[in-house]
Amino acid sequence: MSHNKWDIMKKQSSLITGGECDMSEKLLAGGIEAGGTKIVCAVGTGPDDLTRAVFQSGSDPDAAMREVTDWLRAEQGRRGTLRAVGIGSFGPVDLDPASPKYGFITSTPKPGWRDADVLGRVRRAFPEIPVAFDTDVNAAALGERRWGAAKGLDDFVYITIGTGIGAGVVAGGRPLHGLVHPEAGHMRIPRVPGDDFPGVCPYHGDCWEGLCSGPAIKSRTGFAATEIPPDSEAWRLHARYTALALGNIICALSPRRIILGGSVPKGGLLGGERFFAMVRAEVQDVLNGYVVSPALEQGIGEFIVPPGLGDDAGVCGALSLALDELDRAG
């Protein structure tokens, strides 16, 4: 998405909420989607009621996070008291509440952000309210569960394919962390015979992310995903590799639904509908009838779906983290 679009949305949102309605009885919360390029912030009660702002992540977490917290404070002045803030962050992040680095970004190659204390900076700015923290993709998954394409589901996966490939996993109704957090983009998959593209992952070469992220597509074809001709072999390969990875996710996690977000599944000149149709057919081919469920047969169209919240999944997910925190507190 272009920054222009966000600027417009921000202006629109400001206009919409300019005439203040009665927010006092609703739970006003803040959401921070901290990405490697930009940080999207929102204040509101849900996807239909958001004021937003976008800041550059840059290479100075202090400066960037000060812009974020200053904006949240200003919105609080305009819209009423924030009850909680949620942060969905790019990673890898430390999600262990017992760790001294809980809420830090850990081993990122992004300049300035290695060992950056994201959660602490927000907590210090808002010491009086709960601040929740999770991965960007776990947050997006929870946003989709609250408002989007995963309503009522306790076991599902949210995947984003863009600059990288990430997966948020909800299992038993809760985001899965485990030892660190899922990194399903780095699963290894078999190569399509004859395809000798080495992949772009600096760690694994031809893992799923190495073969199918936006930069991988650019490296393979010379084109951004948005510019590839609809009849390009690249789309067929991308659908096949993505299906092999989704097959592994189905075998490992047995999700009730897979949400495919991010820029690449929009399908560029091919179109999202055709791309999703290709992926669904390839997933059925990969599983070959072994896992028996109507959801994987006639129901495949409702099993692999785009995000219900579209590009808002991330920031709404961050907001959802905050609301979940308030739900837990009763």
Q: Are 99 and 184 in contact (CB under 8 A)?
A: no
Cβ of residue 208: shortest distance to its own copies, in angstroms?
9
Cβ of residue 105: shortest distance to its own copies, in angstroms?
12
Q: Are 32 and 320 in contact (CB under 8 A)?
A: no
How many other CB atoms sit within 10 Å of the CB of residue 198? Answer: 11
Q: Are 186 and 207 in contact (CB under 8 A)?
A: yes
What is the spatial distance between Cα 99 and Cα 121, in angstroms, rounded to a whole number? 16
Cβ of residue 1: shortest distance to its own copies, in angstroms?
27
Shorter beta-carbon distance to its own copies: residue 155 or 311: 155
Shorter beta-carbon distance to its own copies: residue 23 or 180: 180
| Positions in the binding site for its own copies (CB under 8 A) | 92, 106-107, 155, 167, 169, 171-172, 174, 176-191, 203-204, 206, 244, 247-256, 286, 288-293, 295-296
Q: Are 145 and 156 in contact (CB under 8 A)?
A: yes
For the chain, state the CA radius of gyration: 20
Residues 6+ apart with CB under 8 A from 316: 31, 42, 46, 47, 50, 140, 143, 146, 147, 148, 309
Shorter beta-carbon distance to its own copies: residue 55 or 303: 303
- Give the residue from 11, 23, 16 showing the smallest Cα distance to 79: 23
Residue type, 325: E
Q: Are 199 and 215 in contact (CB under 8 A)?
A: no
Residue type, 307: P
Cβ of residue 261: shortest distance to its own copies, in angstroms?
17
- Give the residue from 90, 89, 88, 82 showing the smallest Cα distance to 51: 82
Q: Which long-range contacts (CB under 8 A, 24 or more apart) does 107-116 make?
A: 108/36, 110/36, 110/57, 110/59, 111/59, 112/58, 112/59, 112/60, 112/61, 113/36, 113/57, 113/59, 113/61, 116/61
Cβ of residue 158: shortest distance to its own copies, in angstroms?
13
Shorter beta-carbon distance to its own copies: residue 241 or 275: 241
**Cα 307-310-312 angle, rounded to 5 deg:** 115
Cβ of residue 256: shortest distance to its own copies, in angstroms?
5
Shorter beta-carbon distance to its own copies: residue 125 or 180: 180
Shorter beta-carbon distance to its own copies: residue 127 or 193: 193
Shorter beta-carbon distance to its own copies: residue 73 or 177: 177
Shorter beta-carbon distance to its own copies: residue 74 or 251: 251
Shorter beta-carbon distance to its own copies: residue 42 or 249: 249
What is the spatial distance between Cα 273 and Cα 42, in angstroms, rounded to a whole number? 29
Cβ of residue 117: shortest distance to its own copies, in angstroms?
17
Cβ of residue 89: shortest distance to its own copies, in angstroms?
16
Cβ of residue 322: shortest distance to its own copies, in angstroms?
21
